[in-house]
Chains A and B, each alone.
Chain A
Amino acid sequence: MSRRFHALAGLAFGLFVTFMALTGAVLSVQPALETLAAHSPLGGETVAALADKVTAALPGVDRIVRSASGQVVAYYLADGKHQAAIVDPASGAVVGPYQPSAFFSFFTELHRSLFFGDAGRAVAGVAALVMLALAVSGMLLLIRRLGGIRQLFARGRGTFPQRFHADLARFAVVVLALTALSGGYMSARTFGFVPDGQSDIFALPVSGSGGAAAPVATLSGLRAAHVADLRELDLPAADDTAGVFTLKTHQGENAIDPATGAVLSTTPVRGWAAVYEMVYMLHTGQGLWWLGLILGLGALSVPVLAVTGLWIYAVRQGQRPRFGANVSATGADLVVLVGSEGQTTWGFATAFAEAATAAGRKVHLGAMTDVRRSYPRAGLMVVMTATYGDGDAPASASRFLDRLRKWGKAPVAAVAILGFGDRSFPQYCAYADQVADRLSALGATPAVPYFTIDRQSPQRFADWGRTLAPALGVPLALVHTPKHPKTQTLELVERLDYGVDVQAPTSILSFKAAAGSLKGFEVGDLIGILPPGHGAPRYYSLASRAADGVVEIAVRKQAGGLCSVYLTALKPGDRIEGFFRPNTDFRPQPSSKPLILIGAGTGIAPLAGLVRHNRRKRPMHVFFGGRDPQSDFLYRSDFDAAYQSGRLASLTTAFSRVGKGGYVQDRVSASADSLRAMIEDGASIVVCGGLDMAKGVREALEAVIVPLGIDLDSLKRSGRYLEDAY
C-alpha cells in the first residue's frame, strides 16, 4: 500500500517537488553569502553607539535594519531621495550603497508563490505536504524492506537504482522532512490554519514625552541593547516631537523616548510568533548560514531521487508480465494467487497460468491480497509467494493472512504453496512458511508438498511443475526464465582440468569476447550461461573482472547436469552464449582490514579472483576445502604466486580424502583464536561454496564469534559477512 502511494505521489508530483527543491537550493546559499558580506565580527557594541555613528554619517537616517545574517542596512533621505546603505555593524562606518539582490528576490518569489499570488502559495504548500508524505512513506518502505527500524542503517540491497535511491534517501530524509515540515507550517500560517501569534488588529504607535531630543548615544534604552540582538531600529523624524525610537530585538519590541531614553513600552516576542521565527530560520537558514547550506545540499538530492525513483518504477512496470487469458474468480477451476514485491514472482506465476491454460484449465490469476472468501468452481488454489524483509508479506500479499484469519476457513480445499526466496538470507521463504502453516491450520489439504525455489531457479520451477502435474490432471511443462539481458558470444581460450581422480571433475574455463570487448562485471558477479536449446540459464561466479579481458569460471561436472556437462565438454575455440548479472551483495567493502575468504570446490574461484586483484595488499586469509591436494587443489599456483608477492597473507587448506581428512569448516574452528582477533579488529568474511559447506561454515563461525557478543546476522547487516551458496 505505502509502496503504491509512494510511487503514485512521486509520479504525480515529482516534477513539481523537484522544481521547489531546485529553487530552494538556489536560495539556500543566500544566508552564507550575506554572512560573508557582513564584515567585522561583533563584540559588545551597543545599539546606541551604532545609531550615533550612523546618524552622524547619514543625517537623514530613519531606519536601521540588521538581517538575520548580520548585514546592517541604514535607510536614509538625502537629496530628496530615499536611499539605503550597508553599514559595518561594529564600527558604524558606511560600507557602500545597498541594493537588494534582484536575483534572490526573483527566486524567493518563484519559490513561494511562482508569481501567482495566493494560488501559487497554496501550490507551494501542497508541494511541501507531498514532500513530507514522500519522505515518510519512503522511510516506512525502507524500514519494511530492510526488516525493521534497527536495520535502517544496514547495507542496502536490490538493483543499482534501488540502492542508490534508498542510500541517498537515508541521508537526505532528515533534511527533506525538516524542509517540508517547516515549509508546510509556513504555508499553513499564511492561510491561517495555524495561529500566527499576531493580532489581526495592528497596534497603535506610542507617543513620546515631547521633550527636547537627547544625543542618541546617551539614551539608556538604546545603550542597554547590543547590536548582536538588533533586528531593527526606527528613528523618529526630526520634526516629529511626539515620535519615539522603536527598537526591535530578538526579545521583542521596545518604544524608547528620544528625550529621556526611557523604555515607554515593551512587546515581547512569544508564543506562536516565537514558533514562527524558529520555523522560519529552520526553513530558510536565515541566521544559521551553515544550516542553509545543508538544507540546500539536501534539496539537491530531490532531482536525483526523482530520476532514480522513476527508473525503479519503469523497470518494475517493464517486468510485469501480461496474462491475457485470465478467467473470473467465480468461473475459474484453478486459482493462482501471487505474493510479489518486485515483479519476479508474477513472471513465474504468469508462466504457470499460461501453461495450465494451454493444458485446458480455466485459470484465475490474481494478487494474494485480493483473495476471496470462496472460489465456487475451483478445485485447487496455488499460492506463489516471495518474502519481504524480515519474514513479512510482500506488497501484493499484504492483507492475505488477515483475511484468512477473519474468515476462519480456506477459500479452496486443496492448495499448493510455492515459496520464492534467497537462501543467503536468514529468513528464507519465511512468509511462504507462514502461509503454508496458516492454510494447513485452516484445514486445507496440500495437493503437493510445500515447495520452495531458491534464487529464481528455473530448474526448481520445472521440477515443481512435474510434481504438480498429476494433481492437476494435465501435463505441465513449466519453462520460465526471468528476463535476462542480451547475451554476448564468448570463445573458450583455455581450460584447466582438476579432480578427475577424486570423482569431482572440475574445470577452470577462460573465455574471451568473440567480438567487441567485455564490459560491466566484477569478481564475484555472475555469468548466466544458456546451454543450446534451453531457455533456462545456469549461473556461475566469476573469478575475473571485465577489465581483465577474460571471463573465468570454475565448473564442476555434475552427473546429468545439463549446463555443466555442456561446459566441461568445450574445447578451446568453442563458443557459448552468456550474459552478466551483478551480484552487488557479494562485493567486499573496500577497507584495509583483513578479509577472510572461505571456499570449497568451485566456490574458491571468485575468492581466488579477489586475491589475484588484491593490488593494495589487504591482508587476505584464504580457507580452501577440497578432496585431495594432488587432484582438485584449484588455483594452487595462483595462491603460491600471490603469497610470494604479498597479495595473500595466509592459506589454510582442508582435504577430506587425505591424512586426517576434515572439511574447511573444521579448519575454521581450529583457527578460532586468530579469526576472532581479526573479526574483532574489523575483518570481513566472504564465503562461497555449496549449501552444506556454507551451513557448516556458518555454524563454525557463529561459535568463533560468540565470545565477541555478536552474531553473523549483525555482521551481515553491516556488510561484513558475505555469502554466495548454491
Chain B
Amino acid sequence: MKKFAALLLLATALATPAMAREVKINVDLVNYSGRAAYLAVYLTKADGNFEKTLWLAGSKPRYLGDLRGWLMAASSAGTIQIDGVTGASVGGGQTLAISADLADSMIDAGYTIHVETAVEDQGRYPDDATLQVVSTGGSAAGTGYVKTLTVSL
C-alpha cells in the first residue's frame, strides 16, 4: 500500500453552531528532564471516530509526525486540518492551557478529549490522558508525560 502525504488544507470557515460553549482544557506535565514535549489535543465522537483537532503544541510540522495516534485518527477523517490550532511545545513541569468552543450537542454525549505526547529521543504516548466531555467538567491522571488533564466548562 502506498503512503500518502497528507494535504494541509487551508482553514475552511465552518458555520458556527447555534449553541456553543467555551471549554477550558489544562494539561499539566510531570517534571521530566529532557526537551519540550509535543502534544496533540483532539476530540473523538462517541463511536470513537475522529471529530476535530483542538490543539497541537509543537510548531515544526515534520515532528508532528511523531504524534502517530492523532495522525492515524485525524487522517482517517480524510483531510488533516491544523491551521489556527498550533502553538509552542511544552516543557517538563509546565502547563498547557487552551480553550475550545464546543457545540452543546457534544457535551454529555460521549465525546472524548485525547492528549497525546511525544518527547524527542524519549517516550511517545498516543493516549497519554483521555477524558469524556461532561457538563460538570472533570480531571484525569495521565499515563506518561501528562500529570493531570483538567476540563472545566
Those 10 A-B pairs whose CB atoms lie nearest each other, nearest first: A202-B65, A82-B144, A102-B33, A105-B33, A201-B5, A82-B143, A204-B75, A204-B4, A105-B34, A82-B125
| Most chain B beta-carbon neighbours within 10 Å: one of A75, A198, A205 | A205
Chain A residues, CB < 8 A from B5:
199, 201-204
Whether A199 lies near B34 (C-beta < 8 A) is no
**Does A264 belong to the interface (CB within 8 Å)?**
yes
Contact flags (1/0) for A255-286 with B, using CB distance below 8 Å?
Answer: 10000000011010000000000000000000
The chain A residue with its CB closest to the CB of B34 is A105
Whether B123 lies near A202 (C-beta < 8 A) is no
CB within 8 A of B62: which of A63, A81, A199? A199
A105 to B33, CA, bound (A): 7
A202 to B38, CA, bound (A): 15
Show 9 A/B contacts (Cβ-Cβ < 8 Å), sorted by A. A80-B141, A102-B33, A199-B5, A202-B5, A203-B65, A204-B5, A206-B3, A207-B1, A237-B126
**Does A692 belong to the interface (CB within 8 Å)?**
no
9 new A-B contacts at CB < 8 Å, known A62-B126, A202-B6: A100-B32, A105-B35, A106-B33, A200-B62, A203-B5, A203-B6, A204-B3, A205-B71, A206-B1
Chain A residues, CB < 8 A from B62:
196, 198-200, 202
Chain A residues, CB < 8 A from B114:
none
CB within 8 A of B3: which of A80, A105, A240, A267? A267
Chain A residues, CB < 8 A from B125:
82
Give the distance to chain A from B127, nearest Cβ to Cβ, in Å. Answer: 9
A343 to B37, CA, bound (A): 57
Chain B residues, CB < 8 A from A106:
33
Contact flags (1/0) for A311-344 with B, using CB distance below 8 Å?
Answer: 0000000000000000000000000000000000
**Does B61 belong to the interface (CB within 8 Å)?**
yes
**Does B85 belong to the interface (CB within 8 Å)?**
no
**Does A52 belong to the interface (CB within 8 Å)?**
no
Chain B residues, CB < 8 A from A267:
3
Contact flags (1/0) for B44-72 with A, using CB distance below 8 Å?
Answer: 00000000000000000110110010011
Give the distance to chain B from A675, nearest Cβ to Cβ, in Å. Answer: 65
CB within 8 A of B1: which of A202, A234, A264? A264
The chain A residue with its CB closest to the CB of B65 is A202
Chain A residues, CB < 8 A from B121:
100
A84 to B62, CA, bound (A): 25
**Does B16 belong to the interface (CB within 8 Å)?**
no
**Does B28 belong to the interface (CB within 8 Å)?**
no
A255 to B8, CA, bound (A): 23
A205 to B2, CA, bound (A): 10
A103 to B87, CA, bound (A): 28
**Does A702 belong to the interface (CB within 8 Å)?**
no
With A200-B61, A204-B5, A205-B72 known as contacts, the answer to whether A109 contacts B143 (CB < 8 A) is no
Contact flags (1/0) for A79-98 with B, using CB distance below 8 Å?
Answer: 01110100000000000000
Give the distance to chain B from A417, nearest Cβ to Cβ, in Å. Answer: 65
The chain B residue with its CB closest to the CB of A113 is B35
The chain B residue with its CB closest to the CB of A102 is B33
Give the distance to chain B from A242, nearest Cβ to Cβ, in Å. Answer: 8
Whether B143 lies near A80 (C-beta < 8 A) is yes
Q: Is the interface of B mostly helix, strand, loop or mixed?
A: loop
The chain B residue with its CB closest to the CB of A264 is B1
Whether B64 lies near A81 (C-beta < 8 A) is no
Chain A residues, CB < 8 A from B126:
62, 237
List residues of B (80-126) whose CB comes within 8 Å of A's CBs: 121-126
**Does A77 belong to the interface (CB within 8 Å)?**
yes
A contact set with B: CB distance below 8 Å: 62-63, 75, 77, 80-82, 84, 100, 102, 105-106, 109, 196, 198-207, 234, 237, 240, 242-243, 255, 264-265, 267
Give the distance to chain A from B76, nearest Cβ to Cβ, in Å. Answer: 8
Chain A residues, CB < 8 A from B71:
202, 204-205
Chain B residues, CB < 8 A from A203:
3-6, 65
A265 to B2, CA, bound (A): 7
CB within 8 A of A82: which of B35, B61, B64, B128? B128
A234 to B68, CA, bound (A): 10
Whether B8 lies near A201 (C-beta < 8 A) is yes
A62 to B128, CA, bound (A): 13
A201 to B65, CA, bound (A): 9
Chain A residues, CB < 8 A from B33:
100, 102, 105-106
Chain A residues, CB < 8 A from B64:
202
Give the distance to chain A from B110, nearest Cβ to Cβ, in Å. Answer: 17
The chain B residue with its CB closest to the CB of A77 is B143
A266 to B16, CA, bound (A): 42
Contact flags (1/0) for B1-34 with A, using CB distance below 8 Å?
Answer: 1111111100000000000000000000000111
A200 to B60, CA, bound (A): 8
Whether A75 lies near B123 (C-beta < 8 A) is yes
Give the distance to chain A from B42, nearest Cβ to Cβ, in Å. Answer: 15
The chain B residue with its CB closest to the CB of A109 is B35
A84 to B119, CA, bound (A): 13
Give the distance to chain B from A194, nearest Cβ to Cβ, in Å. Answer: 15
A267 to B124, CA, bound (A): 21
Give the distance to chain B from A216, nearest Cβ to Cβ, in Å. Answer: 19
A255 to B4, CA, bound (A): 13
Whether B122 lies near A100 (C-beta < 8 A) is yes
Chain A residues, CB < 8 A from B122:
84, 100
Chain B residues, CB < 8 A from A199:
5, 62
Give the distance to chain B from A113, nearest Cβ to Cβ, in Å. Answer: 9
A475 to B4, CA, bound (A): 93
The chain B residue with its CB closest to the CB of A237 is B126
Whether B6 lies near A84 (C-beta < 8 A) is no
The chain A residue with its CB closest to the CB of B123 is A75
A109 to B35, CA, bound (A): 8
Chain A residues, CB < 8 A from B145:
82
Give the distance to chain A from B72, nearest Cβ to Cβ, in Å. Answer: 5
Chain A residues, CB < 8 A from B144:
81-82
Give the distance to chain B from A31, nearest Cβ to Cβ, in Å. Answer: 13
Give the distance to chain B from A472, nearest Cβ to Cβ, in Å. Answer: 73
| Most chain A beta-carbon neighbours within 10 Å: one of B123, B141, B145 | B123
Give the distance to chain A from B60, nearest Cβ to Cβ, in Å. Answer: 9
A298 to B58, CA, bound (A): 36
Chain A residues, CB < 8 A from B72:
205, 240, 242-243
Whether B124 lies near A63 (C-beta < 8 A) is yes
Chain B residues, CB < 8 A from A102:
33
Chain A residues, CB < 8 A from B141:
80
Chain B residues, CB < 8 A from A202:
5-6, 61-62, 64-65, 71
With A77-B143, A199-B62, A200-B61 known as contacts, the answer to whether A205 contacts B35 (CB < 8 A) is no
Whether A81 lies near B143 (C-beta < 8 A) is yes
A84 to B61, CA, bound (A): 27
Give the distance to chain A from B88, nearest Cβ to Cβ, in Å. Answer: 9
A105 to B35, CA, bound (A): 8
A81 to B71, CA, bound (A): 22
Chain B residues, CB < 8 A from A234:
68
Whether B61 lies near A201 (C-beta < 8 A) is yes
The chain A residue with its CB closest to the CB of B2 is A265
Give the distance to chain A from B69, nearest Cβ to Cβ, in Å. Answer: 9
Give the distance to chain A from B91, nearest Cβ to Cβ, in Å. Answer: 10
A206 to B1, CA, bound (A): 7
